[in-house]
Amino acid sequence: MKKPVRVAITGAAGQISYSIIFRVAAGDMLGKDQPVILQLLEIPPAMGALNGVVMELNDCAFPLVAGIVATDDPNVAFKDTDYAVLVGARPRGPGMERSDLLMANAKIFSVQGKALNDHASRDVKVLVVGNPANTNALITLKNAPDLNPRNITAMMRLDHNRSISQISEKLGCPTTSIEKMVVWGNHSATQYPDISYATAEGAPVKDKVDNDWYVKTFIPTVQQRGAAIIKARGASSAASAASAAIDHMRDWALGSNGQWVSMGVYSKGNSYGIDEDLIYSRPITCENGEWKEITGLEVNSFSREMMTATEKELAGEREAIAEML
Ligand SMILES: NC(=O)C1=CN([C@@H]2O[C@H](COP(=O)(O)OP(=O)(O)OC[C@H]3O[C@@H](n4cnc5c(N)ncnc54)[C@H](O)[C@@H]3O)[C@@H](O)[C@H]2O)C=CC1
Ligand SMILES: O=C([O-])CC(=O)C(=O)O
């Protein structure tokens, strides 16, 4: 049996975590042979509810759960943690943009960045889910100067999976046959789901769909999917967000088997002309616990315009929270 690893999950009594925690415990994220110690963080008013989650976890008698810590102290939750999934943050309601959450949530990530810096494993892999995820990841990174910036990422996998699902439905082919999808930029309405390189059953997707559908239906549907779920459900997506978080961390830890995925990662300003000091989503493959960017793709003028629009939005968000960096 492998040695247990520590997985910290914040917002542990919230909607998304109610799906994530049980899947991590079942081995969906790190493998069916990897025991985990769950380190669950909440705020004081939610500790009663978190206690209920812990009771349910115990009732599952999961063979892989080697320990559970439930706490309202980030210094305890992040102690020696190998993985951290930062979900705890306010969700948006109808009519809001995710950036409207920036001021409400920014402080959470400066506090948690510092706590990760001081207490987590030096190799901790961090995924920021709480919105606005990319800029919250930047705040986390800037408050954790002793950690490797490569190890702090933002979740774009839900957008990636949504894109694949839309193409699969349009073409009537299985999701597993769609490869080389890319979502660029911010997890927001400016994100750019790009089918330029995508293939379905080995053939270019752009040859199978008309450009009008791509520009007028596909792109806005993916960009607005979060808002559509809020409208339909009265609450933001939770199980699909949890599933995307599991996919992101599993592929990062165990490898993406050559498949392209989209991850919000730290930009050093040396690829695709994207400004440095942003957490910007791009095409990635993962192997041996490391992510690697796909570089050198040709970018046409439509793509460049879309990539720049989402970059500008991220730069504006960075400006708005400059004092927290
Ligand atoms: N990046 C993405 O693709 C997605 C991001 N989200 C975002 O994820 C976040 C969480 O969403 P839900 O679980 O639906 O919300 P929720 O409101 O059900 O749960 C959030 C939980 O976080 C807790 N929390 C608040 N401040 C905290 C802190 N400082 N430390 C620890 N816990 C804290 C709250 O007590 C609450 O239990 C929201 O910001 C939402 O917008 C949601 C869907 C997709
Ligand atoms: O739309 C929201 O506020 C929640 C979210 O990030 C998503 O579902 O993509």
Domain ranges of the chain: 5-154, 156-320
Q: Whole-model pTM above 0.95?
A: yes
Q: Where are the extended beta strands (E) located within the chain?
A: 5-10, 36-41, 65-71, 83-86, 125-128, 152-154, 178-179, 182-184, 192-194, 199-200, 203-204, 261-266, 279-287, 290-293
| Gap between the Cα atoms of 16 and 48, Å rounded | 17
Please tell me if the CB atom of residue 228 comes closer than 6 angstroms to any atom of ligand 1: no
Q: Which CATH architecture has domain 5-154?
A: 3-Layer(aba) Sandwich (3.40)
Mutate which of 107, 131, 152, 262 to test ligand 1's pocket (most atoms within 8 Å of Cβ)?
131
294 CB less than 6 Å from ligand 2?
no
325 residues of the chain, pLDDT tens digit each: 899 999 999 999 999 999 999 999 999 999 999 999 999 999 999 999 999 999 999 999 999 999 999 999 999 999 999 999 999 999 988 888 888 889 889 999 999 999 999 999 999 999 999 999 999 999 999 999 999 999 999 999 999 999 999 999 999 999 999 999 999 999 999 999 999 999 999 999 999 999 999 999 999 999 999 999 999 999 999 999 999 999 999 999 999 999 999 999 999 988 999 999 999 999 999 999 999 999 999 999 999 999 999 999 999 999 999 988 8
Tell me whether residue 248 is one of the annotated catalytic residues: no
Check if CATH label 1.20.59.10 holds for domain 156-320. no
User: Annotated binding residue at 13?
Assistant: yes
What single-letter amino acid sits at 74?
P
Cα four-point dihedral sign 279, 281, 287, 293: negative
Proportion of the chain in helix, strand, coil states, percent, rounded to 5: 45, 20, 35
Residue whose Cα lies nearest atom 2 of ligand 2: it is 226
Ligand nearest to the CA of 155: 1
Whether 131 has a binding-site annotation, put simply, is: yes
**Torsion sign (Cα): 290, 294, 296, 301:** negative
